[in-house]
Amino acid sequence: MSRVLDTEILIVGSGAGGAVTAARLAEAGRSVTIVEEGPWHDPDAVEPFSMEEMVAKYRHQGACAALGSPGIAFAEGRCVGGSTEINSGLYHRLPAELATEWKASYDIAEFDTETLDHYASEIETALTVSQLPGPAPRSSAILDEGAQGLGWRAVEFARVFAYDERGRGTKQTMARTFIPRAIEAGAEVIPDCTVVSLRRGGGRITGVKCQQRHPSGDTEELMIRADEVIVCGGAIQTPALLQRSGIRWRIGNGLKFHPTVKVAARFPYEVDHDDVPMHRVTEFAPFLTIGGSASRRGHVALAIADAASGNLDEALEQWENVVVYYAAIRSVGSGKVLAIPGLRSPLVTYHLTDGDLSCLARGLVHLGEVLLAAGATELFPSIAGGPIARSRSDLLSWWNALTRSSANLMTVHLTSTVRMGEDRSRTGADSFGRVWGYSNLRVNDASLLPDAPGVNPQAAIMAIAARNADHLLGKL
């Protein structure tokens, strides 16, 4: 027999969407239960961007990929707080022109800039979104200096960081902010609890079948009955759960990434490696953005490996002088998430168009130009056997070298698998996340975004989640 738990509102997932939703509803006096597939780790237990963090907090310890030509590696958080525990904390509101475009294209109600800005302001206050209190670290200033040398635009992005009187920053993850707020308001969090399927009946979700793992290693079946079920598992796990439960209308199609290509840049001096650069080159935004990545020794080794052609040890000498940077695009292509019976993880595919590949090659060359303008002496592109660049003329070979078979691509921004709007022919949920055909089932995470926003989507996810939670409160 399964253990049975009753709650008013069940939230599946504790990332940016789930945590905001939980806090909003619990603070309004609702009975809220959060189930999280991953464990609960103290945010300070492991070093950010370390191998220990990947093992503890990443799904499949970081080894996720979308099949395609080329394949694209991606990262998902799998812990209380979701991907907010592992990302860089960079923050950018949804561009107003995109909100206007999405509202018109998908017939999204109450999706004007004024509404979104109202919720964004609340989120920014809660997370102490701010810029650095002092000068940017060298790894970040490099992007600004390179852009200035070329006459291109660059900006310092704000971050979800709180700074003390000495200027030391602490990333304001969901495990530090909205999850504690939800708990203080009476919400219950159940970590290490996998939702297997949703039970359906009469246009409603009648129960949620779970498997809870205990510290002893034992697994217990748990059935949760709730008046409202809100799925916030992210753009991969949310559609996978819905499909496993027999809910497939416009679910899992239209997956969007920011396909990303990287360059490891060597400089004639040591560069900091403790943080992710805050500056972004926005000359070609929103369709192409240039920024910096995590650059611990392991990251540097991975970034150099493609172009080092067997001379990795030599290339890693003075690795402290090397920083990893990237160029990311808003792709025309898209992907799919498909839950296959018998497999624990969904099949994820992604199709890059020829135009996307051309944009990535252009981005790679522009990235090289910025880094050389900032004083880089050697550039290793994430191209299998790719030519190492030491001068601007060397960059010309990158255009033809980046092919479907040679490109090593990745992403951390996943959206658009349960798109929202009133146009039922193109969406899986209504304007506020209610899944079509079900009165008490909602989605409230990155899945709802109709397209990749060209910036870190966390700000948009959280603003939309707060908006949708308030709309639900008005209906209860």
Partners of 435 in beta bridges: 429
Is 413 one of the catalytic residues? Answer: yes
**Listed residue (218, 224, 306) closest to 264, CA to CA:** 306
- Contacts of residue 346, Cβ cutoff 8 Å, sequence gap at least 6: 236, 237, 239, 240, 243, 252, 337, 338, 339, 340
Cα 283 off chain centre by: 23
**Listed residue (243, 213, 207) closest to 225, CA to CA:** 207
Among 258, 279, 299, 413, the one annotated catalytic: 413
Pull the structure tokens for residue 208. 């949620």
Radius of gyration of the chain (CA): 22
Pull the structure tokens for residue 169. 């920053």
Residues acting as catalytic residues = 413
